[in-house]
Amino acid sequence: MKAAVIVFPGSNCDRDLAVALRAAGFDVTMVWHKDTGLPADVDLVGLPGGFSFGDYLRCGAIAARSPIVSAVVDHAKKGGYVLGICNGFQILTESGLLPGALMRNRELKYICRTVPLIVKNASSAFTNGYRDRQAIDIPIAHHDGNYSADADTLERLTGEGRVAFTYAANPNGSRNDIAGVLSENGRVLGMMPHPERAADPALGGTDGRALFTSLAQSFADA
C-alpha cells in the first residue's frame, strides 16, 4: 500500500500524517508541492493540515494552484483515493474535488481543542472501521473551519450519504454540523478535525486510528 503526503510551504501536520499512515502499514513518500507528478502506483494521496502559503487570499487557495495539485486532481478523477485534513480539506474545496467552502469560524476565533464527532457514514473506505452513529473524540485546530454550501448541495450531500462526520456540539458554525464530506464516488474525504492527532495513546487518544486502519484494510481486501 503506497501513500503520498503532499508538503506545501506552511504545512505543519505532514509528518504527523505520515507517521499515522506508516503505523497503519502504508509505504509513505513525501512529495513537494512544486513536483508535477505523484510516485508510481500510489494508492492514497494525503493533503495535510497547516497554513499553506500563510493562508493568504483564502485558506488553501494558493496551494490549490500548486503544480502537484493537478496530479492530485487527475489521480482522484481516475478513481484514486485522497484524504484532506484541515488545510487539506480547504485545498480540496478550492481545487473543486469537493463541494462547498470553509469560512471563518462563527465566533471569528481560532479553536484548538478536542471535540466530539458522530460517524454519519461507516461504509466508506475511510470509515468502515467505525460504527454508524459512533461517537468519537478528535482534535480540531482551525480558524476557518465553518463548512458552508448552498441548500441544494447540503441536501444532496445528506441524501447521498456523503456526510462522513458531524460535530456533536458544533464549535464553528458549520452548516448541518458538517465536519467531513465525501466525494460522489466515496474515494475523496475532506475533514476539518485531525485524526492523525488521535492515532496513538501517547497523543492522548486513539479514536482517529480507525480511519487509517480502515483505509489499510480496504486496500488489503481490494
* 160-203 per-position pLDDT tens digit: 999 999 999 999 999 999 999 999 999 999 999 999 999 999 99
> pLDDT value at position 124?
97
| CATH entry 3.40.50.880 includes domain 2-221 | yes
Please state, for a pLDDT cut of 70, what percent of the chain lies above it: 100
pLDDT at 22: 98
The per-residue pLDDT for 164 is 98
pLDDT tens for 45-79 read: 999 999 999 988 899 999 999 999 999 999 999 99
Per-residue confidence (pLDDT) for residue 193, from 0 to 100: 98
160 is annotated as an active-site residue: no
Active site residue 94: no
Return the pLDDT at 171: 98
93-145 confidence digits (pLDDT tens): 999 999 999 999 999 999 999 999 999 999 999 999 999 999 999 999 999 99
* Catalytic site includes residue 196: yes
Marked catalytic residue, from 13, 59, 75, 86: 86
Predicted local distance difference test score (pLDDT) of residue 105? 97
Flag whether pLDDT at 222 surpasses 80: no
Residue 57: its pLDDT value, please? Answer: 85
Sequence ranges of the domains in the chain:
2-221
3-state secondary structure the chain: CEEEEEECCCECCHHHHHHHHHHCCCEEEEEECCCCCCCCCCCEEEECCECHHHHCCCCCCCHHHCHHHHHHHHHHHCCCEEEEECHHHHHHHHCCCCCCEEECCCCCCCEEEEEEEEECCCCCCCCCCCCCCCEEEEEEEECCCEEECCHHHHHHHHHCCCEEEEECCCCCCCHHHEEEEECCCCCEEEECCCHHHHCEHHHCECCCHHHHHHHHHHHHHC
Q: Residue 179 has what pLDDT?
A: 98
